[in-house]
Homo-oligomer: A and B are copies of this chain.
Amino acid sequence: MTSPNATSPILGIDLGGTKVEIACARLNAEVLARKRIPTQAQDGPERGLERILETAQDVLARAEVPAKELCAVGISIPGPWDHDAGAFLDLPNLPGWEGYPIRQKLEEHFSAPIHMDNDANATALAEWKFGAGRGYDHLTYLTMSTGIGGGLILDGRLYRGKNFNAGEVGHQVIMPDGPPCGCGLLGHLEALCSGSGIARRLKEAVKPGSSLMWELAGGDPEKLTAEVLVGAVRKEDPLAQVFFHQTLEYLATGLANLVFILNPEAIVLGTIVARNPDLFLKSLERMVAERVWDVFTADLKILPAQLTDQIGVYAPLAVILDALNLEPEELTK
């Protein structure tokens, strides 16, 4: 095989709890074909892999790339993993998939090397190589979807830690003896500020007639989501504003802890923050500055993620580029 260059084709698999995005692209990020399917996690990993492989075949056919010409396969998975086995740990959004050796299974189907990482690391790499984090050597990435994940770029490279699971910034304790986190422990940032944490807190706080949020959720407590909260804040609903402010304070406390520990030059925030930068960023900047020393904020930028819609392609691609030790600049024509 020739050494990888800008036009070498790769297959990317972005495996999430609800959907899988499969893409064939070139190393220079040119997308040849892509397809998104539901994960149907409840059917188990064997059936899941079958559907991924069928879709990959379809995507490769449309891209007119024979599988044997792939220079690498990248896969991003939703949470911590067993690096030695290339297997899932017990993930809340992939119930029953624990222990399934996905890397080995992919190796049986592809002659190209398989490169794997969790979604937070993969997205941190992608934002750093292609998005909001370009040019920063010390970058902390946080995503705030169902859970809160993190990826750490330190001294110009992804820091993975001893067991390849560093960056679990959502599991720092913000409120001792606070509400249970998805992981079972108490008072984590994720239990307060993730999509599911916000929804749980809203369910307790919002009663019929107390807030516009009740109407926006159609009177269904199950529909009180972070998006409903943001919608009501935009309409200046008082309860939503108080609740949102409290949520920002939790988040700022978590970010301040990270600033003291990691002294980053950029914090990149994904998902709901990236979609609503006007609501989040100014307040967060102020609240973080109130919680750390001046030396830490002199060079600190808090930025919205840029690749939101394209992340399904960029995340696995960035994992591959990192494994091959290639920079995007070397690959653009």
Interface of A with B (CB < 8 Å)? Answer: 80, 82, 89, 137-138, 150, 152, 154-155, 157, 159-169, 171-176, 183, 185, 253, 256-258, 260-265, 291-293, 295-296, 298-300
CB neighbours of A175 from chain B (8 A): 176
A161: chain B residues at CB < 8 Å are 138, 154, 262-264
Tallying the copies of this chain within the complex gives: 2
CB-CB under 8 A from A154, the residues of chain B are: 154-155, 159, 161
A253 to B174, CA, bound (A): 10
Measured between beta carbons, the chain B residues less than 8 angstroms from A185 are: 291
> Are the CB atoms of A261 and B168 closer together than 8 Å?
yes
A138-B161, A157-B155, A176-B174 known; A293+B263 contact, CB < 8 A: no
Most chain B CB inside 10 Å of its own CB: which residue of A164, A165, A258, A261: A261
Q: Are A174 and B172 in touch, CB under 8 angstroms?
A: no
| A183 cross-chain contacts in B, Cβ below 8 A | 293
**How far, in angstroms, from A102 to B99 measured CA to CA in the complex?**
55
User: Are the C-beta atoms of B265 and A162 separated by less than 8 Å?
Assistant: yes
**Main DSSP-derived SS at the A contact region:** loop
Cβ–Cβ contact A258 & B256, under 8 A: no
Is A165 a contact of B263 with CB atoms below 8 Å? yes
Residues of B within 8 A of A291 (CB): 173, 185
Which residues does chain B contribute within 8 Å of A264, judged by CB atoms? Answer: 161-162
Q: List 30 A-B contacts (CB under 8 A).
A: A82-B295, A89-B295, A137-B162, A138-B161, A152-B261, A154-B154, A154-B155, A154-B159, A155-B155, A161-B262, A162-B263, A162-B264, A162-B265, A163-B263, A163-B299, A164-B263, A165-B296, A166-B262, A167-B261, A167-B263, A168-B263, A171-B257, A171-B260, A171-B292, A173-B174, A173-B291, A174-B176, A176-B253, A257-B257, A261-B261
Closest to A140 in B: B261
Query: B262 touching A163 by the CB < 8 A rule?
Result: no
With A157-B155, A159-B155 as contacts: A293 and B261 at CB distance below 8 Å: no
Closest B residue, CB atoms, query A160: B263
Tell me the complex Cα distance, A162–B185, Å: 32
Chain B hits for A258, CB < 8 A = 261
